[in-house]
Amino acid sequence: MPHSSATKAFPRMQPGPRFEVYTLADLEKGTIPHLQSLSPQQRLAMRAVAHVLPFRVNRYVIEELIDWDRVPDDPLFQLTFPQPGMLAPDDLAAMTDLLQRQAPAGEIRARVQKIRARLNPHPAGQLALNRPRDAEGNPIGGLQHKYRETVLFFPSQGQTCHSYCTFCFRWAQFIGDKSLRMASREAGVLHDYLRRHREVTDLLITGGDPLVMKTRHLADYLEPLLAPEFAHIRTLRIGTKSLSFWPHRYLSDEDADDLLRLLERLVAGGKHVALMAHYNHWRELETPAARRAIARVRETGAVIRAQGPLIAHVNDDPGVWARLWQTQVSLGIVPYYMFVERDTGARHYFEAPLARCWEIYRQALQQVSGLGRTARGPSMSATPGKVDIQGVTEIAGEKVFVLRFIQGRNPDWVQRPFFARFDPKATWLDQLRPAFGEEKFFFEDELAAMLQADRRGGAS
């Protein structure tokens, strides 16, 4: 039913802090005072990494989330500031040498590009595959249509974030190479595609972070979907880290109230509106600003669903996940997904073996009530679909991973269990091999045919 308080006036919040951001330029100039406690060698390593992988952090994160007495081991510091281990030792040594001897910009750029090329900038074929086409067969920029029911849209105004996560699997969006970006500024293109595809029920606005954009731009994309011709679009999802990294987006930004009213209008218009909030540690939920922002969003009738990957140095601890889910439930947030760290970027630093991920998930789930057990996982967003690790067991004398598709390129794959040989070192689906002497997983031949067709023509 439509939400009954669509015309409610949100109490205007007091003026809040000004948004201030720091980037690589500030590392180079030494203008982040909190970093002065680190050694010159540590700061040099941070600069070296930040030349390769994107770095952006804001004052709220620095002053409200990071415990500087625990740096460099503090999980929120690990989450937002470049770490030496994010580059292979040889690459780190090469970059620090270039910076120390003040090498020409062209030489630095050439080395950076060489390193980036080895970091799998677009995992699971996210740039080359899943690209829908218009009525004339031309690829549509800024859209992905991997699953039958769900379309992803990348608005051009949302192709950055309030702060960058060091593990981000979309890091290639933020390095200034337009050939690696997925973005569209054409609301009409999105709406035309949705008109022609009645099978689509869910639209996910993603980025970057869509909530860095002004509310008026977000409204241009979403409000037309309240028209009767878009009745098949039942769910509007907005992927965002703003509730954690800049809760003042909902409190005191100049169009904060406009944003809340937009969410409320969408709910009142019969849409299920979900903020897909990215959380990595329970401390992100502890500040007064974060809690006020959560409360204001919930007043609109929108649902907050929480997801995030299991990442080494940040949350590879069942106690951290248990407290995260418990806190989310107490604040009215729905725990949704525990992801496996994607096979891209600094994966060697952040990834954990699948067996360890499953053990952490299992131990964390044992510590929460049923309301916290809505979190699915550990889940790999791989090329064939979202694959869930159901467990580790022994069948007919063979130790195996029990796996299933939560979502698949073919809907018929969903919920079908399958088995992989147990490998204590494996960190991703492509490192697993079928159990019981099978040569291939059940989906492999069909997947290969799908990918070939996708590359030839794609969806239309």
Domains of the chain: 21-117 (no CATH), 123-456 (3.20.20.70)
Q: Can you give the C-alpha Rg of the chain in angstroms?
A: 22
Q: Could you report the average pLDDT of every consecutive run of 10 residues in the chain (460 residues)?
A: 48 79 95 94 96 96 97 97 96 97 96 90 61 79 88 90 91 65 71 95 94 96 97 98 98 97 98 98 98 98 97 98 98 97 89 98 97 96 94 97 95 95 97 97 94 66
Alpha helices in 240-352 (DSSP H): 242-245, 256-268, 288-299, 318-330, 347-350
Tokens standing for 46? 């941070």
* Predicted TM-score (pTM) of this structure: 0.92
pLDDT of residue 16: 84
pLDDT of residue 345: 84
- Which H or E run includes 391? strand 385-395
* Residue closest to 305 by CA, chosen among 270, 268, 273: 273
Q: In what order do the strands lie in the sheet with 272-278?
A: 143-147, 150-153, 202-205, 235-240, 272-278, 303-310, 334-340, 376-382, 385-395, 398-408, 417-421
pLDDT of residue 174: 73
What does the alpha-carbon distance between residue 203 and residue 200 come to, in Å, rounded to a whole number?
A: 8
Give how far Cα 369 sits from Cα of 115, 118, 304, 326, 372, Å.
45, 43, 19, 8, 6
Give how far Cα 372 sits from Cα of 237, 273, 305, 314, 318, Å.
21, 21, 12, 20, 13
pLDDT of residue 373: 96
pLDDT of residue 459: 47
pLDDT of residue 226: 98
pLDDT of residue 48: 97
Q: Strands, E, within 28-79: which ranges?
A: 56-58
pLDDT of residue 12: 60
pLDDT of residue 127: 55
First to last CA, the chain: 33
pLDDT of residue 7: 47
What does the alpha-carbon distance between residue 272 and residue 281 come to, in Å, rounded to a whole number?
A: 27
